[in-house]
């Protein structure tokens, strides 16, 4: 069995070399140039989101929200994951992160919130959600850091009240900027 696998492997390698030489001779392109063209082509295909994909993603998101409001977070996560696969936008990551938070799967929730923050580090709501999770994990300094970003972008009363509560309860009213 192993012998057959080795023979097939060598055959594939020689076939690729043979094709590369033919292409090189006919079109004057090297293998690396062909690989570069394929990579560019694949990237362009990945980045193109069709209206159909966008519409399908919205449908998955709507179904996921229905499951979320019915407290069926696993089914909601499945639908939000499908939506993200079709169109990875902020709303879908936040929705899935909220499900993970409801299930106390804080690492997964943080990962989804981080996905949003990678493209927009000043997203106040997402920073607030990270602060809430770090608070639940008793990591109050990290919670304050995310609240700081949320408040700088949008000083909502809810964010300020939460920050003041953390400082009062866990830092004996120390001054934090």
Q: Could you report the per-residue pLDDT of 86-98, keeping only the tens digit for each?
A: 999 999 999 999 9
- Tokens encoding 44: 């362009």
What's the pLDDT tens digit per position in 77-135? 999 999 999 999 999 999 999 999 999 999 999 999 999 999 999 899 999 999 999 99
* 70 and 98, same domain (yes or no): yes
Place of tokens 């407290």: 71
Looking at the domain assignment, is residue 44 inside a domain? no
Of residues 40 and 72, more confidence is placed in 72
Residue 19 lies in a domain: yes
Q: How many domains are contained in the chain?
A: 3
Q: In 3D, which of 54, 69, 122, 62 has the Cα closest to residue 99?
A: 69
What's 122's DSSP letter? T
For position 14, what pLDDT does the model report? Answer: 43
**Domain containing 87: what range?**
50-108
Residue 22 within any structural domain of the chain: yes
Structural domain includes residue 102: yes
At 18 the pLDDT is: 43
DSSP-derived secondary structure for 128-171? HHHHHHHHHTT-HHHHHHHHHHHHHH---HHHHHHHHHHHHHHS
- Cα distance between residue 59 and residue 66, in whole Å: 11
Closest CA to 170 of 135, 146, 119, 125: 135
> Does a structural domain hold residue 114?
no
Global pTM reads: 0.68
């Amino acid at each position: 069995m192993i012998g057959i696998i080795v023979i097939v492997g060598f055959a594939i390698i020689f076939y690729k070399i043979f094709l590369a030489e033919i292409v090189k001779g006919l079109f004057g392109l090297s293998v690396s140039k062909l690989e570069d063209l394929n990579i560019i082509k694949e990237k362009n295909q990945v980045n193109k989101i069709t209206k159909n994909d966008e519409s399908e993603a919205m449908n998955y998101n709507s179904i996921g929200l229905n499951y979320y409001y019915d407290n069926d977070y696993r089914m909601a996560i499945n639908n939000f994951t499908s939506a993200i696969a079709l169109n990875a936008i902020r709303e879908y990551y936040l929705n899935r992160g909220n499900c993970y938070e409801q299930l106390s799967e804080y690492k997964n929730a943080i990962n989804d919130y981080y996905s949003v923050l990678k493209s927009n580090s000043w997203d106040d709501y997402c920073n607030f959600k990270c602060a809430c999770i770090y608070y639940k994990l008793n990591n109050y300094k990290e919670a304050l850091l995310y609240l700081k970003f949320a408040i700088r972008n949008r000083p909502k009363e809810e964010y300020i009240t939460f920050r003041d509560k953390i400082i009062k309860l866990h830092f004996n009213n120390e001054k934090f900027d």
